[in-house]
Structure formats: structure tokens, C-alpha cells
Structure 1
Amino acid sequence: RGGASSARGRRRRRRESASRRHDSAKAERAADRGNEARRAADAAALEEQRRAIAAEAEAKLAAERAAAEETLRAREAERRAAEEAQREEQRAAAAARKAAQVEAARRDKEAADRRAEEEK
């Protein structure tokens, strides 16, 4: 009778030990799943941060590019305005030369007319 009781006790202890091992393995698996979920969340957060940094850098580059293009447009407009001013100065100088030539021709004609009148 003592042997049967002892065998039942051993079986009970084995069942309890197996149950504890099963519960422990279950807890480890749950902890592993939790760790995996945390790692996945951390990786997703890092990826989102990387995307935000990349988007910010792209926006900064676009703003710099737009500013550079605006500077180029302004310089081109200044260059065209300077060229137009130079052409206007050249036209004014040509008109002044032409007026001087016309005035000189008029004086020459007057002088020639006076000489012709004096010779009569």
C-alpha cells in the first residue's frame, strides 16, 4: 500500500513538474512575442523617423533649388536690363552723332550759300 501511494505521489509530482515546465515555456513564448512586437515597433518607428528626415532633407533641397533658380532668374533679368540700357545709350549716342552731322551739314550749306552770295 505504501508503494502505491508513493507511485501516485511521484506521478503527481511529475504532472506538476510537467505543468510548470509547460507554463514556463508558454510564458517564454509570450515574452518572445512581446519582444518581437517591441522590436517591430522600434523598427517601424526608426523607419518613420528615417522617412521624416529624408522628407525634411528633400524639402530643404527643393527650397534651396527654388532659391537658386530665383537668383538665376533675377541675375538674367538684370543682365537683360543692362544690355537694354547699353543699347539705349548706343541709340542715343548715334542720334546725337546724326544730329551733329545734320547741324554740321547745315552750317556748311549756310557757309557755302554765303560765299556764293558774296561772289555775286
Structure 2
Amino acid sequence: MQTYKTPHWTFYSANNELIYSDGKSIQLAARHNACLLALLEAKGEAVDYDTMLLKVWGTQFRDTNTIASVISELRKQINCGDPSLKYIVTIPKKGYRFNNFEEVETLQESISHPKKNSNRK
């Protein structure tokens, strides 16, 4: 799995963790984690509803309102309280896209996680 870093947060997909630039961290729910990962893996391309349903829920038999609800919650988590940050945009009648992909640095998972090494002497 990859680690993704923006100027505002770092996302550790392997353990569902989002660490903000101020050091605070949250555990993302599994669906939020899978949704964010699907958007980041698309590298700025749109992710259509069917693809999102398959990647997050493993099915295509859900209402698009289900996706919209998860996207809404995810936007609140990754926008860090700043409404001017538009990381996720809606592509009408198609799906969603991670808007500021040029800000994302993709790191290898082998880079040490700050909390993993905090207990070592």
C-alpha cells in the first residue's frame, strides 16, 4: 500500500490513518479509507459511480446516494475545516475526481510511520 501526502495531511492507506499537518490524527472508517484510496489511485482522473461501488462496497447494486453520503463525510475529514480546499469534486452524472492531485506526493509504505517508531529508544 502507498502513503499519500498533501500540504494539509498524510494518508496511510494500510492502517486507515489520516494525520493532519498539525499532528492530530484520525482513523478513517473502512469505507472512507477505500473511497479516498480509489480517488487517489485514479491520479486525477474521474472515478465513475460503478467503479466506486465496486472498489468500496464490492457491488454495483447500491444507490448513488450511498456514495454521496460517504463522499460528504470524507470531504469534511480531508478538507481540514477549510471550505476553500476542494480536494474532491463531483463530476455531474459520472462520479468523483480528486481535484488537487498535483499536490499529492506518493510515498512508499516502507517509509517509517511517525507513530510506529515513537516507542523505540
Normalised by the length of structure 2, the TM-score is 0.15
Normalized per residue, the structure richer in strand is 2
Normalized per residue, the structure richer in helix is 1
Normalised by the length of structure 1, the TM-score is 0.16
Which structure: larger Rg? 1
